[in-house]
Amino acid sequence: MADSLNLKISKILSRLADSKELIGSNPFKISAIRKASNTVANSNDSFHLIDDYQKIPGIGPSIAKKIAEIKLTGRLSELDELDEKIPAAFWELSKIRGLGLGSMKKLFKEKIFSYESLKENIFKNDLAFFSKSQNENIRRGIKLYASYKGKFLLSEGQDIFEAIQNKYHHIDFRETGGLRRCDEVLECVELIYICDPGFNIGNFASSLKGRVQGEQIEFSYNGRSIKVSISKKNEFGKRWLETTSTKKHLDSLKLYKVESEEEIYDLNGYSYIPPELRIWNPCEFKKNVPELLSIDDINLDMHMHTNWSDGFDSIDDMVSGSCAKGYSRIAITDHSKSASYAGGLKEESLFDQVSYIKNKNWDLEVLTGTECDILNDGSLDYDDSVLEKVDWVVASIHQNLNGDQTERILKALENPHINVLGHSTGRKLLTREGYDVDWPKVFSKLLERNIALEINGNPERLDVDASIAKNASKSGVKLSLNTDAHSIKQLDFMKMAVNQARRAGLDSSFVLNSDYQI
């Protein structure tokens, strides 16, 4: 779980920087605040335990004072003053793809202060202060936002569940619904509670500051909807199974009022089916329920970034963090040169990094590598003469993400140096839909070239999804579970990749992460 104080400080500083930029404050001070926000977010130490903030690189006296105020009061008076000038509804616009802060400044100047106002205006006519393509992109962004408004990432749901457990530590809440299935995106956090005889649902709802809705209690936590199902102990198996499973899964089962889910599966002639697999028809597992991959099966991570490109931590830091995970091998895969927006390495810098890694002696094997951009024509960002000098190549599309990218990918996969096809739909959950791919063609080429398909554990990506991963494994394609970590803290993203692999029904034999030999 992300440190709650660090997260709060980082968010407040980030909002302060955005607010200052919106009203035209000093750009150097804004940049310093943004860097401090990033530093706090990526810190491996809780700010609960830090007293002298100025010992942290990039945090001077002014920002240290702001952090101290946030830590003491939970607020920042400077931001409160700016909030009086900027309507609260205005910040909803930042959630719309196609609206960066530069575009938001134009909307602010034109007194378009809310999502509803923008939608009303831009669907009538093009806004004169945007180009035609910008207007079209914003309209697409509004339609996408409307489809996911109110939803949130699985990782946020997991953090909320942990926070609720800490707050209500005397109540034995258990996870259910999409949270327990590890759905990528949630509409609410679903929990379940076993009640004792004489239980009063009204009193229980009041203790949570919630309301009774049938056999559920609903309340809000950090602005998110929490739904608690209530079950008697002797019916818990039925209630937990039906609240965890999708309709597709339940339609083939007869439910019984028993204490455990195992009993219900047994009465239906099945072995126990783990929650992550309850997105599928149980008939698929009539003969065999796979022994799903676990985090303990993972001993390598082959896609991560450092401060040589857009990562936060050094190579040595990432190696140290990976050692702490018990890994035997990692690959350092900073961005290639075309990713200038992400500090992509030119050839000479890549060679310097290769030399640095080759001349170090760590407690695990560290491969030299790159996350090499697949360019528009399907060629790779580095020449073969460069790629042959690194141990590991993750090939990914980062730019021009619209339409069908099958031919672009197929051409790239002809390159003899590629080991993994990275985050291969290009999606960003709740932000950007992925591009189209003819998967049977790509699976065939991956298999032919002995190239793995990535399951990217970044909570905003989780790319590929369970269905694609499942079909890839059936085609004989190996999956590579990676974090795409940009800091030590993000090495924890491997848990998210494992969740996705479990939803696809994968065991350790389908992935590169346990015993892969180069």
Q: Which of 38, 27, 138 is nearest to 93 (CA)?
A: 138
Question: Is residue 43 pLDDT above 90, yes or no?
Answer: no
Q: Does domain 4-148 have CATH number 1.10.150.110?
A: yes
Residue 215: per-residue pLDDT = 87
| Mean pLDDT computed over every residue of the chain | 95
Phi-psi region of 111 (alpha: psi -120 to 50; beta: other; left: phi over 0): left
The mean pLDDT value for 328-343 works out to 96
With bands split at pLDDT 50, 70 and 90, how would you rate the model's confidence at 515? low
User: Is there a contact between 454 and 423 (Cβ–Cβ < 8 Å)?
Assistant: yes
Specify the CATH number of the domain 295-510: 3.20.20.140
Residue 510: per-residue pLDDT = 96
pLDDT (tens digit, 9 = 90+) per residue, 199-245? 999 999 999 999 999 989 999 999 999 999 999 999 999 999 999 99
Question: Is residue 389 pLDDT above 80, yes or no?
Answer: yes
Distance CA 354, CA 51 (A): 38
| Residue ranges of the chain that CATH labels 3.30.460.10 | 152-285
Tokens for 83? 């909030």
3-state class (DSSP) for residue 120: helix
Place of tokens 């949570």: 208
**Any idea what the Cα angle at residue 81 is, between residues 76 and 86, rounded to 5°?**
115
The mean pLDDT value for 467-494 works out to 97
Residue 516: per-residue pLDDT = 66
Work out the percent of the chain whose per-residue pLDDT is above 70: 99
Residue 219: per-residue pLDDT = 97
User: Is there a contact between 302 and 327 (Cβ–Cβ < 8 Å)?
Assistant: no
Distance CA 354, CA 219 (A): 53
Distance CA 504, CA 497 (A): 11
User: Is there a contact between 450 and 144 (Cβ–Cβ < 8 Å)?
Assistant: no
Distances in Å between the Cα of 170 and the Cα atoms of 105, 211, 288, 303 are: 47, 20, 39, 41
With bands split at pLDDT 50, 70 and 90, how would you rate the model's confidence at 93? very high
Q: Does domain 152-285 have CATH number 3.30.460.10?
A: yes
Question: Is residue 246 pLDDT above 90, yes or no?
Answer: yes
Residue 308: per-residue pLDDT = 97
The mean pLDDT value for 466-471 works out to 98
The mean pLDDT value for 300-314 works out to 97
With bands split at pLDDT 50, 70 and 90, how would you rate the model's confidence at 518? low
Question: Is residue 1 pLDDT above 60, yes or no?
Answer: no
| Residue ranges of the chain that CATH labels 3.20.20.140 | 295-510
The mean pLDDT value for 242-251 works out to 98
Amino acid (one-letter) located at 273: I
Question: Is residue 511 pLDDT above 60, yes or no?
Answer: yes
With bands split at pLDDT 50, 70 and 90, how would you rate the model's confidence at 97? confident
CA 434 to chain CA centroid, Å, is 15
User: Is there a contact between 489 and 42 (Cβ–Cβ < 8 Å)?
Assistant: yes
Strands 216-221 and 300-301: unpaired
Q: Which long-range contacts (CB under 8 A, 24 or more apart) does 4-10 make?
A: 4/163, 5/46, 5/47, 5/48, 5/71, 6/40, 6/41, 6/43, 6/46, 6/47, 7/41, 8/70, 8/74, 9/37, 9/40, 9/47, 9/67, 9/70, 9/71, 10/37, 10/38, 10/40, 10/41
pLDDT (tens digit, 9 = 90+) per residue, 49-81? 888 999 898 899 999 999 999 999 999 999 999
With bands split at pLDDT 50, 70 and 90, how would you rate the model's confidence at 319? very high
| Residue ranges of the chain that CATH labels 1.10.150.110 | 4-148
Residue 290: per-residue pLDDT = 96
Distances in Å between the Cα of 41 and the Cα atoms of 37, 250, 477 are: 6, 41, 36
Amino acid (one-letter) located at 245: S
Distance CA 455, CA 289 (A): 22
Question: Is residue 100 pLDDT above 70, yes or no?
Answer: yes
Phi, psi at 67, each rounded to 5°: -60, -40
Residue 399: per-residue pLDDT = 93
The mean pLDDT value for 410-423 works out to 98
Distance CA 275, CA 246 (A): 10
CA 145 to chain CA centroid, Å, is 17
Distance CA 88, CA 19 (A): 11
Question: Is residue 164 pLDDT above 90, yes or no?
Answer: yes
Least confident among 23-27, 373-377, 407-411: 23-27
Residue 51: per-residue pLDDT = 85
The mean pLDDT value for 485-495 works out to 97
Distance CA 164, CA 406 (A): 44
* DSSP state for residue 335 in the 8-state scheme: B
Residue 2: per-residue pLDDT = 59
